[in-house]
Amino acid sequence: AKAAGRRTFVRYDDSMDVANRRRAQLSGALHKVLDRGELRLVFQPRLSLAAQRITGVEALLRWTSEEYGEIPPNLFIPLAEESGLILGIGEWVLREACRTLRQWHDAGMTSLNVAVNVSVVQLLRGDFSEIVRRVLADTGLPPHALELEVTESVLMANAEQAAAKLQALREMGVSLAIDDFGTGYSSLAYLKRLPITTLKIDKTFITDLNRDPDDTAITTTVITMAHSLGLTVVAEGVESETQMRFLDHFRCDEIQGHWLSRPVPPADCLAFIRAWVPGTTS
């Protein structure tokens, strides 16, 4: 029994080594992404259910490493946060997203907004609102066309500091969304104190809509609560017509997900939006 226990331990230790080595390799490669131009953005459209109109897009980061191939953001974003590389990468994302939207506005699509994911490291370190102000000035995108998404857990962990940072951004005219809403522990009172404009219901709740009574209750409660606070509600991860109809019935404002479109390169996304016919989904 003793020997078997030891073997199990050794095997576990080996796999930890492999995982750590992999992380170290990726971190090394991550240092070179900006110089090598290995990053790109894909865009996923957002649909207003009541207006049957595409209101905007979310920019999502993609990394194809020369050495390691395609690495998912859920793997490399945490590494970039640990090393501080997220500051440079995040600014690149912001600039690229605003530049792309400005081009779309110039092409006549002036009502479209862009949502950009912001890491807590970006929000809390340095003068983030100054960076945003500069990127907007450089690209010529109007502030109201930009929405910044911050995850709920991150806001809760740094409540006071975050609130001050968000206030400065909101005063600039930028919209502010809480991402992955429902996964943390935000109280109604706390939400009321933050200058946010939008709640994004986490996709884990949307997946089991109609099947899991708890998820259904959480979703309908979040929609009601958000509306009572004057916030726009977006459901993410909408994959079926059934989910869309449910969300429409409960007056969810906007949806995003594979049912409408997967995240795609900018030209494809613009083509999708141009080809969009109101009412085709209802």
Q: Which of Ca ion, ligand C2E, none sits in contact with 257, Cβ below 5 to 8 A by type?
A: ligand C2E
**Which range of residues in 40-48, 90-98, 229-237, 257-265 is near Ca ion by CB under 5 A?**
229-237
Rounded to whole angstroms, how far apart are CA atoms 55 and 114?
9
Site for ligand C2E in 51-110 (CB under 6 A): 60-61, 72-74, 77, 90, 93
**Which two structure tokens, joined as six digits, stand for 217?**
């209750």
Q: Are 96 and 124 in contact, with CB atoms under 8 Å apart?
A: no
Q: Min. distance of Cβ 13 from Ca ion in angstroms? A: 31
Give the nearer residue to ligand C2E in terms of CB position, either 116 or 194.
Answer: 116
Q: Kindly state whether residue 145 participates in binding ligand C2E, applying the rule CB under 6 A.
A: no
What residue type is 95 in one-letter code? R
Scanning 43-51, 61-69, 83-91, 172-180 for contacts with Ca ion by CB under 5 A, the matching segment is 172-180
Question: Is 180 among the residues that bind ligand C2E (CB under 6 A)?
Answer: yes
Return the bridge partners of 47, or none.
Answer: 54, 255
Position 147 contacts Ca ion (CB under 5 A): no
Q: How far lies 163's CA from each of 80, 87, 151, 199, in Å?
A: 24, 20, 13, 16
Q: Would you list the DSSP string of 22-70? A: HHHHHHHHHTTHHHHT-EEEEEEEEEETTTTEEEEEEEEEEEEETTTEE
* Residue in 91, 96, 149, 215 binding Ca ion, rule: CB under 5 A: 149
Nearer to ligand C2E, 73 or 265 (CB): 73
Rule CB under 5 A: is residue 180 a binding residue for Ca ion?
yes
The CA distances from residue 208 to 59, 214, 260, in Å, are 25, 9, 18
Confirm if 152 and 186 have CB atoms less than 8 A apart: yes
- Which has the closest alpha carbon to 221: 264, 177, 259, 252? 252
Q: Which does 37 bind (CB under 5 to 8 A by kind): ligand C2E, Ca ion, none?
A: none
| Window of 80-88, 134-142, 187-195, 230-238 that interacts with Ca ion by CB under 5 A | 230-238
Beta carbon nearer to ligand C2E, 38 or 239: 239
Compute the distance between CA of residue 190 and CA of residue 202 in angstroms, rounded to an integer.
Answer: 19
Cβ proximity to ligand C2E: between 5 and 69 the closer is: 69
Q: Does 266 bind ligand C2E (CB under 6 A)?
A: no
Residue 55: both structure tokens together: 């209101």
Query: In terms of CB distance, is 18 or 98 closer to ligand C2E?
Result: 98
Task: Count CB atoms within 10 A of the CB of residue 7.
Answer: 10
- Applying CB under 5 A, the residues found at the interface with Ca ion are 117, 149, 179-180, 236
- Applying CB under 6 A, the residues found at the interface with ligand C2E are 44, 60-61, 72-74, 77, 90, 93, 117-119, 179-180, 203, 236-239, 257-258, 263
